[in-house]
């Protein structure tokens, strides 16, 4: 499916085919393809917990205010924004840039300083924004790649973050910007028409706000 058509026809679906297995390899293909996502300084500050086990999905549903799709989708991805993404990955990013000719070795220190300035300390607001925005870029790529693999999705943010962290052993300093339910549309279900979008004239201006 072409990219413009995919963007135009992707929908967030509420009713998933229940009990249909989504193979681990297919999930890996999905997460790997989407992983070509860009990120700030290429720091890739995201992690994913794939919830497939029926008992674990029941637990996730409980944390997601009892929304059926958290259990009914074949898999649910817990998208995790890692505020430690700068420290965890900066050296490898710079190694890669240096090796591929993006930067000269003597500029490593300058780049390390830039990243520290731009993304602040681990507990700062700018660091949280850094982690969340990049994880959302990856999330959007996942939703579109899913369409390309014949799958449907629903991004969810109706959940109790503390409950998910506790139940899935996720460290407290991480942020969970969303869950993504993945699977197939339940047979017999017809989607309602797409909900409203603003006319771009309302939110786009040229040259000044």
Q: Does 147 bind a second copy (CB under 8 A)?
A: yes
- Select the residue interacting with a second copy from 169, 172, 188, 190 (CB under 8 A): 169
CB of 5 to a second copy, least distance (A): 8
Residue 63 or 145: the one with the smaller Cβ distance to a second copy is: 145
* Burial of 156 per CB tally in 10 Å (0-12, 13-18, 19+): buried
Within 8 A by CB and 6+ apart from 108, the residues are: 94, 98
Dmax over Cα atoms in the chain, in whole Å?
62
Q: Which of residues 43-82 bind a second copy (CB under 8 A)?
A: 44, 46-53, 56, 80
Q: Are strands 46-51 and 75-81 parallel, antiparallel or unpaired?
A: antiparallel
Sign, Cα dihedral of 179, 183, 189, 191: positive
Q: Does 35 bind a second copy (CB under 8 A)?
A: yes
- Select the residue interacting with a second copy from 106, 187, 190, 192 (CB under 8 A): 192
Q: Does 172 bind a second copy (CB under 8 A)?
A: no
Q: Does 163 bind a second copy (CB under 8 A)?
A: no
DSSP annotation of 40: G
Site string for a second copy, 2-31 (x = CB under 8 A): xxx-xxx-x-x-----------x---x--x
Q: How many CB atoms lie within 10 A of CB 167?
A: 15
Site string for a second copy, 104-133 (x = CB under 8 A): ----------x---x------x--xxx-xx
DSSP annotation of 207: S
What is the residue whose two structure tokens read 């989607």?
A: 191
């Amino acid at each position: 499916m072409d990219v413009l058509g995919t963007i135009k026809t992707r929908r967030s679906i509420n009713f998933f085919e229940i009990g249909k297995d989504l193979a681990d390899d297919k999930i890996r293909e999905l997460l790997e393809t989407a992983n070509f996502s860009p990120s700030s300084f290429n720091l890739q500050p995201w992690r994913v917990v794939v919830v497939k086990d029926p008992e674990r999905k029941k637990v996730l549903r409980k944390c997601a205010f009892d929304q059926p799709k958290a259990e009914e989708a074949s898999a649910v991805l817990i998208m995790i924004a890692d505020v430690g993404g700068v420290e965890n990955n900066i050296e490898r990013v710079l190694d890669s840039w240096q090796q591929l000719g993006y930067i000269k070795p003597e500029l490593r220190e300058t780049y390390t300083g830039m990243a520290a300035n731009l993304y602040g300390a681990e507990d700062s607001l700018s660091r949280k924004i850094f982690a969340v925005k990049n994880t959302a870029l990856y999330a959007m790529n996942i939703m579109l790649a899913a369409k390309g693999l014949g799958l449907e999705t629903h991004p969810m943010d109706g959940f109790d973050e503390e409950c998910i962290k506790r139940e899935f052993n996720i460290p407290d300093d991480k942020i969970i910007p969303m869950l993504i339910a993945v699977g197939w549309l339940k047979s017999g279900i017809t989607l309602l028409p797409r909900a409203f979008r603003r006319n771009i004239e309302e939110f786009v201006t040229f040259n000044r706000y």
